[in-house]
Amino acid sequence: MRLLLYTYLILPFVINAQFDSTQVEVNTDTTLNSRIEFKDTIKETDEGKSAEIFVSNNFNNQDGLVIKWIVSTIYNEEGFDLYRKQDGLDWVKLNETPINLIRNTQLDTNLNKDEQGLYNFTLNNSYDEFQKSFPRVFVLIKSIYNNYLANLIGIIYYDKTAIKDVSYQYKLLKGSSNNELAISENYKCGNYVKESPPDSLEVERFKKRCDIKWKPDINRYYGVDIYRKTNDSTFKKITITPRAIQKSEDEKGNINFPEVCYVDEDINKEYAYTYKFVAINYFGQPSKESEEIFVPKKDFDSPEKPFNLVPVKHDSKMTIDLSWDFIPVDDLAGFNIYRSNLLEGPYEKINKSLLSNTTAFYNDKVSITGDYYYYCSSIDFSGNESYSGKIYLQIHDMLPPDAPKNLQSETGPGFINLSWDNNIESDLKGYFIQRSLNDEDNSDNHFININSKPTFENTFSEKLSKNVRNKFVYRVIAVDTSFNRSKPSINSLAQMPDVTPPNHPVIKSIDFKDKMMVIYWIPNIESDLEGYNLFRKLKNDSTDFKKVNNLTIPRDINSYRDRLTTPGKEYLYLVKAVDVNGNISLPSKEFFGYNPKEKLTTLLNLSSELNEKRKRITLLWNLENSEIPVQGSIVLRSTDDNVLKPYSKLIQENSFIDNITPGLYNYQVRTYTKDGIVIMSEVINIELIKNE
């Protein structure tokens, strides 16, 4: 966010400052011809900085750069320190002592009367009093025009050590506090070249003034001087001080520059004028002159107005014929016709091009009935216009609208949607939607209105019972504000889709035959039945039912052979019916089915090894049918012929080691399959004898 100087000038107000420490006198022989309202001269950035640095090549035919800064306090009690840096190097302080207000109480011949008064005022008031004073604004403005005064105030520095073709950046600090106020953009040292003049210059002439516009650029220049000449005379400056432009807030709260930057009111309608413009930068240096803008002399005298404006006729076809009288003159260009529905307007020009200066007749065609007001105008070749008196007439409509076009229907469960192209008549009141039952010849059908009042929308939706199977014929009629009815649209046929599902099937039995589950159900009787889908899940499974069949089971089949069940598993089945329109019935009641277990003919072989020295028994076992999936095994043990009891947890290994003491031991292994079957080994007896 850049720090910008904002001022605006209000004419006419003249100020001449003869200042002492206590008062400001206002006279009329000043070089400042404007009152300046100073509003937040410096707007602070988000970082809290409160200054703006401007850099320029030296304009005094000397080498180096000139640096000027604008601060909200104008000058600083402690003075300023200025630093400079090149790319890749550190900041270097340029001034040995703070740059501050120079206190010279002697009369300075380099200052004019106004400037001397402002300078004396600055010297003779304390810093706090100066900050509260209004004349400090003029001190700043004069310091922009006069670099000598800027030097006295302490807001300018001539960097004569800057090297040509090298870019520099400058930093401003506040006195002993070393508070950073601003950092400039990079600026390349070189020969001084004048700035370009203001952009987008435009002059618009009126009878008693010229509105002058340009594109303000407050980053590039402070104000604009305007020069004007009449016919073959020499140019004279018409702005005593440069015209500075400030942004302002409009009625909507937007902050923008004004559309017109300067109004030249010293205008004689008999003269042609030529303007040129020069921008003044913050160092008081003028830009290049703009190109000259020529504003020719213009005729502002209106022609004689038309008279005797009358309607010749008007009829039910919405046409009106107008005629008028006029006085022919050499600069008469032609006529315009204006129309409104209200006496007070607004009125619109209804002729597309200017009517001939020999024509005194116009035929108007209106689109709606009602009250109409007209007037006629004469216009000359300079664009001046004069107006006749107003006349009134009333139009009645007898023409019906066109028949609606492109009627389309869309059906869904419980509704029929209609749509058609909008009619373009401006007096359209709406549409009536009509319906009839479809038959072989719909030309003699009796249609009824569905809506009692015209609808202005070009869509309509009718809700019906989902079970309605009739075929309907629809048409639409347009009606205007005079209740003229159009011919009906082309008919559109519509029938709602079938949304009624079949009844739910009933499973009557499930058998297990030839290693398959066979499911039987009672056939449905619906005429539009397509077939059935069978669903299955394990009895104690919490997941949803899964469909068994890949293709829909045909309607004439009422059983299904399920080959993909597992022996020993319990299942639940259900059936759903589906019709040719895709409607699916509720499911049948769940039905239980069981695939019996196959008898296992496998043995569990158990062997043992006794290590008497270590008092350890090792058990080893295996299934004769190793392909049977198992969950694991449990070792059971008893001593002295007691009951076998579980001695281990469920283990996955096929071996077990038991450390024992002398005595008699009985062992058995039980293996559990994943189908829940238990396979038991023989009981083996082992005795460890105590050594004496």
Rounded mean pLDDT of the chain?
86
Which residues sit opposite 622 in a β-bridge? 605
Taking residues 517-524, what's their average pLDDT? 95
User: What single-letter amino acid sits at 50?
Assistant: S
Asked if residue 501 belongs to a domain, the reply is no
User: What is the predicted pLDDT for the residue at 161?
Assistant: 94
Taking residues 368-395, what's their average pLDDT? 90
pLDDT digits (tens, 9 = 90+) for 12-67: 222 333 334 334 443 333 333 333 333 333 443 334 457 899 999 999 989 999 99
Residues 338 and 462 both lie in one domain: no
Asked if residue 500 belongs to a domain, the reply is no
Residues 383 and 467 both lie in one domain: no
Asked if residue 631 belongs to a domain, the reply is yes
pLDDT digits (tens, 9 = 90+) for 171-230: 999 987 788 999 999 999 999 999 999 999 999 998 889 999 999 998 899 899 999 999
Interatomic CA distance for residues 238 and 167, integer angstroms: 38
Residue 266, SS3 per DSSP: coil
Residues 514 and 462 both lie in one domain: no
Cβ–Cβ under 8 Å, residues 677 and 597: yes
Asked if residue 448 belongs to a domain, the reply is yes
Q: What is the DSSP letter of 624?
A: S
Neighbours of 296 (CB within 10 A): 9
Interatomic CA distance for residues 263 and 271, integer angstroms: 17
User: What is the predicted pLDDT for the residue at 599?
Assistant: 57
Q: Which two tokens stand for residue 363?
A: 């035929």
How far lies 378's CA from each of 301, 308, 335, 371, 422, in Å? 12, 13, 5, 24, 40
Residue 406 CB-half CA count within 13 A:
7
Which residues sit opposite 371 in a β-bridge? 394
- The C-alpha R_g of the chain, in whole angstroms, comes to 53
In total, how many domains does the chain have?
Answer: 6
Phi first, then psi, for residue 601 (nearest 5°) are: -120, 50
Say which CATH number the domain at 418 has. 2.60.40.10
Q: How confident is the model at residue 480 (pLDDT cuts 50, 70, 90)?
A: confident
Interatomic CA distance for residues 654 and 650, integer angstroms: 11
User: What is the predicted pLDDT for the residue at 223?
Assistant: 93
Which run of H or of E encompasses 364?
A: strand 361-365
Taking residues 308-318, what's their average pLDDT? 78
pLDDT digits (tens, 9 = 90+) for 122-146: 999 999 999 999 888 889 989 988 9
Most confident of 325-339, 387-401, 426-440: 325-339
User: What is the predicted pLDDT for the residue at 46?
Assistant: 37
Most confident of 437-441, 444-448, 522-526: 522-526
- The angle formed by the CA atoms of residues 301, 307 and 308, to the nearest 5 degrees, is 175
Cβ–Cβ under 8 Å, residues 328 and 348: no
Interatomic CA distance for residues 545 and 534, integer angstroms: 9
Instruction: Residue 605: name the closest of 559, 666, 654 by CA.
Output: 654
Interacting residues of 241 by C-beta distance below 8 A, sequence separation 6+: 9, 31, 32, 33, 34, 141, 145, 223
Instruction: Residue 569: name the closest of 538, 604, 536 by CA.
Output: 538
Asked if residue 400 belongs to a domain, the reply is no
Residue 584, SS3 per DSSP: strand
With a pLDDT cut of 90, the percent of the chain lying above it is: 56
Query: Strands (DSSP E) along 391-447, which ranges?
Result: 391-395, 408-412, 415-419, 428-437
Q: What is the DSSP letter of 443?
A: G
Beta strand 415-419 pairing with 459-463: antiparallel
Residues 72 and 144 both lie in one domain: yes
pLDDT digits (tens, 9 = 90+) for 226-270: 999 997 789 999 998 899 888 888 888 888 899 999 999 999 888
Interatomic CA distance for residues 232 and 274, integer angstroms: 9
Q: Which two tokens stand for residue 661?
A: 């003491």
User: What single-letter amino acid sits at 548?
Assistant: V
Residues 643 and 678 both lie in one domain: yes
User: What is the predicted pLDDT for the residue at 692?
Assistant: 63
Question: Is 11's pLDDT higher than 50?
Answer: no
Instruction: Residue 489: name the closest of 458, 530, 526 by CA.
Output: 458
Residues 103 and 167 both lie in one domain: yes
Interatomic CA distance for residues 482 and 485, integer angstroms: 9
- The angle formed by the CA atoms of residues 421, 424 and 425, to the nearest 5 degrees, is 135
Q: Which two tokens stand for residue 182?
A: 């601003």
The DSSP annotation for 452-484 comes to SS-B-SSEEEEE--TT---EEEEEEEEEETT-P
pTM over 0.75: no
Asked if residue 278 belongs to a domain, the reply is yes
Residues 585 and 653 both lie in one domain: no
Instruction: Answer with the one of 295, 322, 348 that is the final residue of a domain.
Output: 295
Residues 428 and 381 both lie in one domain: no
Query: Strands (DSSP E) along 283-330, which ranges?
Result: 293-295, 307-314, 319-325
Q: How confident is the model at residue 332 (pLDDT cuts 50, 70, 90)?
A: very high
Beta strand 187-188 pairing with 248-249: unpaired
Would the CA dihedral through 176, 178, 183, 187 be positive or negative? Answer: positive
Q: How confident is the model at residue 581 (pLDDT cuts 50, 70, 90)?
A: confident
Neighbours of 414 (CB within 10 A): 15
Looking only at Cα atoms, what is the longest distance across the chain? 159
Residues 657 and 681 both lie in one domain: yes
Lowest-pLDDT choice from 113-117, 403-407, 625-629: 625-629
Which residues sit opposite 574 in a β-bridge? 535
Which residues sit opposite 53 in a β-bridge? 69
Residues 620 and 657 both lie in one domain: yes
User: What is the predicted pLDDT for the residue at 468?
Assistant: 72
pLDDT digits (tens, 9 = 90+) for 336-354: 999 999 999 999 999 999 9
Domain that holds residue 671: 604-688
Q: End-to-end CA distance of the chain, in Å?
A: 107
Instruction: Answer with the one of 295, 325, 344 that is the final residue of a domain.
Output: 295
Phi first, then psi, for residue 599 (nearest 5°) are: -70, 130
Residue 67, SS3 per DSSP: strand
Interatomic CA distance for residues 475 and 409, integer angstroms: 10
pLDDT digits (tens, 9 = 90+) for 94-103: 999 999 999 9
Would the CA dihedral through 246, 252, 253, 255 be positive or negative? Answer: negative
Neighbours of 594 (CB within 10 A): 15
Which run of H or of E encompasses 201?
A: strand 199-205
Residues 259 and 366 both lie in one domain: no
Neighbours of 158 (CB within 10 A): 16
Instruction: Answer with the one of 594, 627, 657 that is the final residue of a domain.
Output: 594
Phi first, then psi, for residue 391 (nearest 5°) are: -125, 160
Interatomic CA distance for residues 101 and 154, integer angstroms: 5
Asked if residue 312 belongs to a domain, the reply is yes
Beta strand 684-688 pairing with 546-547: unpaired
Q: How confident is the model at residue 370 (pLDDT cuts 50, 70, 90)?
A: confident
Neighbours of 516 (CB within 10 A): 15
User: What is the predicted pLDDT for the residue at 598?
Assistant: 62
Neighbours of 40 (CB within 10 A): 9
Residues 426 and 484 both lie in one domain: yes
Q: What is the 3-state secondary structure (H, E, C) of 527-560?
A: CCEEEEEEEEEECCCCCCCEECCCCCEECCCCEE
Question: Is 571's pLDDT higher than 60?
Answer: yes
Question: Is 120's pLDDT higher than 90?
Answer: yes
User: What is the predicted pLDDT for the residue at 42?
Assistant: 40
Interatomic CA distance for residues 645 and 666, integer angstroms: 10
Which run of H or of E encompasses 130?
A: helix 127-132
Q: Which two tokens stand for residue 159?
A: 């960097």
Interatomic CA distance for residues 32 and 14, integer angstroms: 6
Residue 354, SS3 per DSSP: coil
* Number of residues that make up the chain: 692
Q: What is the DSSP letter of 563?
A: -
Interatomic CA distance for residues 555 and 391, integer angstroms: 82
Asked if residue 599 belongs to a domain, the reply is no
